[in-house]
Amino acid sequence: MRSFIFAIYVLATVAIAQPALSFPLKVLQLNTWGVPLMVEDTFRYGEAMRRIEERSPDVILLEEVFSKKGKRAFHSEAYPYEAEGPSAFPRLVSSGVRVLSRYPILHTAQTAFRRCHGTDCLSRKGAVLVILELPGGWRLNVVATHLDSSDRVNIHLSQLAQIRSLVEREGDPNAPLVLGGDLNFKEDSIEYPYAMKMLQTTDAWRTVHPGADPGYTDDSFENRYGHDYALKTKSPLSRGRIDYVLSRSSGTRHITPILANVIFNEEPLLSDHYGVEASFEID
pLDDT digits (tens, 9 = 90+) for 180-201: 999 999 999 999 999 999 999 9
Count Cα neighbours of 47 within 13 Å in the Cβ-side half-sphere.
10
* Cα first-last separation, the chain: 38
Q: Which residue, among 233, 237, 283, 230, has the nearest Cα to 258 in the 3D structure?
A: 283
Domains of the chain (ranges plus CATH)?
A: 28-266 (3.60.10.10)
Provide the pLDDT for residue 22: 87
Let me know the angle formed at the C-alpha of 151 by 184 and 71, rounded to the nearest 5 degrees: 35
Q: What stretches in the chain show pLDDT beneath 70?
A: 1-20, 37-41
Look at the pTM and tell me if it is higher than 0.75: yes
Provide the pLDDT for residue 212: 82
Q: What is the pLDDT of residues 221-272, one digit of tens each?
A: 999 999 998 998 899 999 999 999 999 999 889 999 999 999 999 999 999 9
Residue type, 224: R
Provide the pLDDT for residue 257: 98
Provide the pLDDT for residue 59: 98
Q: What is the pLDDT of residues 200-210, one digit of tens each?
A: 999 999 999 99
